[in-house]
Amino acid sequence: MVLSFPKSLMPWSLCLLLAGCADQHDYDALSGEQLFNQICADCHRQSGKGSFLEGIPANAGTRLDREQLIELITEGSSEHKKMPVISQLDRQQAGRVADYLKTVLNR
Ligand code: HEC
């Protein structure tokens, strides 16, 4: 009985592990546009125009370059302290978001 207990936990931990992997993989499979709409649009809106009432500036039209955007997203910036670090994105994923922002929304 006692010995079989840990075994019964196995499917659970396996499931958690797999779910963790799937999450990470999901972000890898998403385009810059999808990542923007899932994560950034919460605050900045899908248009990237922000929300004046909530104190969120537009990010469409930003003068930051690609590298600065990646830094802002993954590490934060002393010039934009009110923007949280988006810790779920790695540099590569942040780069795709930056490209989307600079090409599609930055018109
Ligand atoms: C929780 C809300 C929130 C989320 C989510 C968020 N931002 Fe921001 N963002 C802000 C706020 C607030 C500021 C203003 C920061 C400041 O000036 O101190 C800001 C500022 C910015 C700026 C600077 C705008 C300028 O003047 O050049 C850019 C660019 C930006 N965000 C891009 C993004 C991107 C890309 C994402 C998604 C990866 C994102 N943000 C997600 C709240 C958010």
Residue located nearest, by CA, to atom 30 of ligand 1 = 59
Query: What CATH number belongs to 31-105?
Result: 1.10.760.10
Over residues 5-30, the pLDDT tens digits come to 556 555 555 545 555 554 555 899 99
Q: Can you tell me the distance from the alpha carbon of 3 to that of 14, in angstroms, rounded to the nearest whole number? A: 18
Residue located nearest, by CA, to atom 6 of ligand 1 = 40
**From 56, 70, 83, mutation site for ligand 1 pocket: most ligand atoms within 8 A of C-beta:** 83
Find all residues with CB under 8 Å of 104, minimum gap 6, and list them: 33
Q: Can you tell me the distance from the alpha carbon of 84 to that of 32, in angstroms, rounded to the nearest whole number? A: 19
Q: At 106, is the pLDDT very low, low, confident or very high (cuts 50, 70, 90)?
A: confident
